[in-house]
Structure 1
Amino acid sequence: MKSVQQEVDERSNLTGTNKFELLLFRLGGDEQGNHSELFGINVFKIREIVAMPEITTVAGAPKHVLGVVNLRGQIIQVLDLPAIAGVKPKTGLNIMLVTEFARTTQAFAVESVEEIVRLDWNQVMSAENSAGSGMVTSIARLPEQDGVAGRLAQVLDVETILRTLNPNEERESFDQAVGSKIAIKPGTVVLAADDSVVARALIEQGLEAMGLPFIMTKSGKECWDGLNKIAAAAEAEGRTVYDRVAMVLTDLEMPEMDGFTLTRTIKSNNRFANLPVVIHSSLSGTTNEEHVKNVRADAYVAKFSAEDLSRTLRKVLHG
């Protein structure tokens, strides 16, 4: 039997292999609670899973906010995830998923937790063009279980969910937050990759405020393919990729190829080895920061602060 530390170490090491673990859970189904579909969240975002505690209703709380709980001295907002997804739990809201990402802690109420599955990111396809893609960032193809093949799980875009629930949340002024424009070599761009619709919009606003031209992609694979095309076009003109791309800005969690794999692939290729790469992710903690060093990324910045992003890019681009 593996020790707890062995399991933690093994899980942490997945980030260097384009693999990850997905916590599968159910929210409910139709009006009778039937036809319940599987949903998933990256295990690295889950702090703990607890039986639903007593919730204190908060006066004037936004729609779909159940209230708050006192979890060992920390007051945490609890969101009604089935209601957000437009489904009805058959047996009630029984489980609370406490999550940490994007500098925040919050809890999601769900009907039941199923299992944790280990997947390769190439088993996860973008849900960009599917119905409901506003809150579902990708679709995971799950391994066969009990003779049942072809199972699918919808991977939730939790950042989008939180932003949608707080539409009146005060937004920072990008122009004021990023400071003066950032100058880069004429003719070059920032090549960015993020699978979240909301994250891409925020990144685009930030880069525009910094005065940085950019090309936005939706996955690590799309970014890698795009980088190679740019390099080939530059070389056909007698130039190099450094005449066309100033740096790469990448998320970590992305379908087909994650940000760690993208960064390692770039840095291990002689064609791109000196190209700056900044990892920009809602996943945080010392473990991920250590992996950032292992794949030779030039910097890591947590989502989402335009000021922090600007400070990091300015430092990387200007040495």
Structure 2
Amino acid sequence: MNKQLIFKKRPIGMPEADTWELESNPIAEPGEGEVLIQHHYISLDPAMRGWMNDTKSYIPPVQIGEVMRSGSIGIVVKSNNHPKFEEGDVLTGWGGVQQYVVTNGENWYKVDTNLAPMPMYIGTLGMPGMTAYFGITEVGKIKEGDIVLVSGAAGAVGSIVGQIAKIKGCKVIGIAGGADKCKYLIDELGFDGAIDYKSENLATALKRECPKGIDVYFDNVGGEILDVALTRLRMHARIIICGAISQYNNKTAIKGPSNYLSLLVNRATMQGMVVMDYAKDYAKAAQEMGMWMMQGKLKSREDVYEGIENFHDTFKRLFTGDKKGKLVLKVKED
């Protein structure tokens, strides 16, 4: 049987457990030219919250009655004359929160688990890592000597953003929640400074850590943190809007920046980015990031939990901050 998490109702605010229903259905057979993949891990990402809203976005919303959308990785257990994939291949793609998926292979990619473990391919070498790489290099256009500020800095994307900026010769300040995460940023990831938004005044802390202002702000959080960051822009600063996790579960209107005129005064830019726009260059980015990892310059951290039955409790960690690095759920039963 295939355990599947079915999307049952559109949430208002933080999704409750009854947003989904766990069903057990017969495992489907692959048709001609298709493969059956047994999922080992699924990816939990803040973007999943946005996909539940019936609003216009960069990707259509998940429909009621569908398997909850997610990134995934698993092994081909049956191939029905597929032209590219055969039994035993490890594939990553958009398989959803379920234990098995049948696919024609479109938008699925073969990976080598001799080079890196499965969870890393839905983390640092997957969508979060690609988001960090292209967001900070292509949109942020970082250059040596830049002062870079990252929010959500201990998370899957932010932790990679900061490390890439350091590799490129930037001064990097991270914003995270709690003394433990701030210590992690400096002691383990090599950030130059950290701000604990839970215990510090943001404006005061930013003046302390970025006395000369900031050249690049990579925003994963939105809300008040984005607004305060706008007050510290240097001339021709670049702001990358990657996400706004502080706003995703709002029951009222999203809070936008009131200090936006700083963009005008400093001739700065604020640009949104969606990782799918860079899909043709994923392999190049993965190769460079893999090299940095082999050289010990880039650290990867996956926070792995087990059991598809525990999806809701694990999903909530995205918004409570009770995690470090990439949040992953193991769905294969041993």
Please, what TM-score do these two structures have when normalized by structure 1?
0.35
Between 1 and 2, higher relative CO (CA 8 Å, sep ≥ 6) is seen in 2
